């Protein structure tokens, strides 16, 4: 499986995050694993790797597709991860990274130029069911949403713009949040300006609204206002426009996927 995905993997560069990483790499390159596509994007695939014998998910692989004008997203991930550690921000730590030059991989007709191996985490990521307190989806888990918004506020105060603030990108355990998707993160030297904050929140509001959370836009806006009183009712109009853009983009994506299927 490993060699089929990465025929020249021995020539890759590696960055290990634990003592067990080299053993896990050896295991991946010698043992048989079941490979399931969890997500397919324009720049990468996400695979679930399961034990061939036990059929149990063990690892998550984010593999990047080779393109001639592609920025090395594995190296960018490593740089982003180091910066987040400097700022004392919790993240889901990978097991190891590996990569080669994306342009060389493209010219050699290699479909993938590198990736990130994570442990497979079955529980902890926020799911749709966590957003509600009952099966009928009538009672919203306001405490969880408020805690998540406060976490975003603290990131914004440190000059961190996440971009993808969908709730399922966050790991939550005993009141603490961890970030998983680092791909769209931007760093600023100062706390974020009002527009960047609203833009970052708009994705979360759109997704909550998509999941039928009543008055999701007002909820997200007003909860954030408790921590950042600089936003006011005039800013809600701009926030509303940002959410509308995100929603139209998602509707277009779902419409396209329905046509293809």
Where residue 228 sits, what CATH number does that domain have? 1.10.510.10
Residue 260: predicted pLDDT? 55
Q: Residues 8, 98: one domain? A: yes
Same structural domain, 102 and 171: no
Q: What is the pLDDT of residue 137?
A: 67
80 and 132 housed in the same domain: no
Tell me: do 137 and 104 sit in the same domain: no
Total tally of structural domains belonging to the chain:
2
Are 102 and 200 in a shared domain? Answer: no
Query: Domain end: 119, 148, 179, which one?
Result: 119
Is 261 a member of any domain?
Answer: no
Residue 211 included in any domain:
yes
Range of the domain at 237: 128-250
Output the pLDDT for position 42.
86
111 in the same domain as 41: yes
Output the pLDDT for position 22: 96
19 located within any domain: yes
Q: Are residues 114 and 138 in the same domain?
A: no
Sign of CA dihedral 149, 150, 151, 152: positive
Distance (Å, whole) CA 58 – CA 76: 25
User: Does a structural domain hold residue 46?
Assistant: yes
Strands in the chain per DSSP E = 13-16, 33-40, 44-51, 57-65, 96-99, 112-119, 160-161, 170-173, 176-179, 186-187
**Could you tell me if 39 and 85 lie in one domain?**
yes
Examine residue 257 and state whether it is found in any structural domain, yes or no: no
Q: 13: domain CATH number?
A: 3.30.200
Last residue of a domain, one of 74, 101, 119: 119
CB 119 within 8 A of CB 129: no
Residue 257 has a pLDDT of: 57
Alpha-carbon gap, residue 222 to 142, rounded angstroms: 12
Of 95, 119, 143, the domain-final residue: 119
Judge if 33 and 78 occupy the same domain. Answer: yes
Name beta bridge partners: 63. Answer: 45, 115
Q: Record the tokens describing residue 92, joined without a space.
A: 């889901």
Domain assignment present for 50: yes
Q: What is the pLDDT, as a whole number, of residue 136?
A: 66
- Distance in angstroms (rounded) separating the CA atoms of residues 15 and 65: 19
User: Is 90 a member of any domain?
Assistant: yes
Residues 102 and 168 in one domain: no
Q: Could you report the average pLDDT of every consecutive run of 10 residues in the chain (261 residues)? A: 90 95 95 90 92 87 92 95 95 96 92 96 91 79 95 98 94 91 94 97 96 94 97 94 93 67 51
Q: Phi and psi for 170 in degrees, rounded to 5?
A: -115, 135
- Please indicate, yes or no, if residue 16 is contained in any of the structural domains: yes
171 neighbors 180 (Cβ within 8 angstroms): yes
pLDDT at 55: 80
Same domain for 51 and 140? no
Same domain, 232 and 152: yes
Q: What is the pTM for the complete model shown?
A: 0.90
């Amino acid at each position: 499986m490993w060699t089929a995905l990465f025929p020249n993997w021995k020539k890759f560069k590696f960055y290990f995050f634990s003592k067990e990483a080299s053993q896990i790499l050896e295991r991946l390159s010698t043992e048989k694993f079941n490979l399931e596509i969890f997500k397919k994007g324009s720049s990468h695939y996400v695979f679930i790797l399961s034990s061939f014998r036990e059929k149990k998910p063990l690892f998550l692989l984010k593999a990047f597709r080779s393109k001639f004008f592609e920025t090395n997203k594995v190296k960018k991930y490593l740089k982003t991860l180091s910066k987040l550690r400097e700022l004392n921000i919790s993240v889901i730590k990978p097991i190891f990274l590996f990569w080669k030059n994306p342009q060389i991989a493209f010219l050699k007709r290699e479909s993938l130029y590198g990736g990130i191996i994570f442990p497979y985490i079955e529980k902890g990521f926020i799911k749709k069911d966590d957003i509600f307190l009952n099966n009928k989806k009538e009672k919203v888990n306001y405490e969880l949403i408020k805690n998540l918004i406060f976490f975003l506020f603290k990131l914004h105060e440190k000059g961190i713009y996440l971009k993808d603030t969908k709730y399922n990108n966050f790991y939550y355990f005993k009141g603490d949040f961890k970030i998983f998707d680092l791909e769209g993160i931007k760093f600023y030297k100062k706390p974020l300006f009002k527009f960047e904050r609203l833009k970052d929140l708009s994705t979360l509001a759109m997704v909550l609204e998509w999941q039928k959370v009543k008055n999701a836009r007002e909820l997200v806006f007003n909860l954030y206002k408790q921590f950042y009183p600089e936003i006011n009712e005039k800013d809600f109009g701009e926030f509303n426009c940002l959410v509308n853009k995100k929603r139209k983009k998602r509707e277009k994506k779902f419409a396209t996927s329905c046509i293809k299927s």
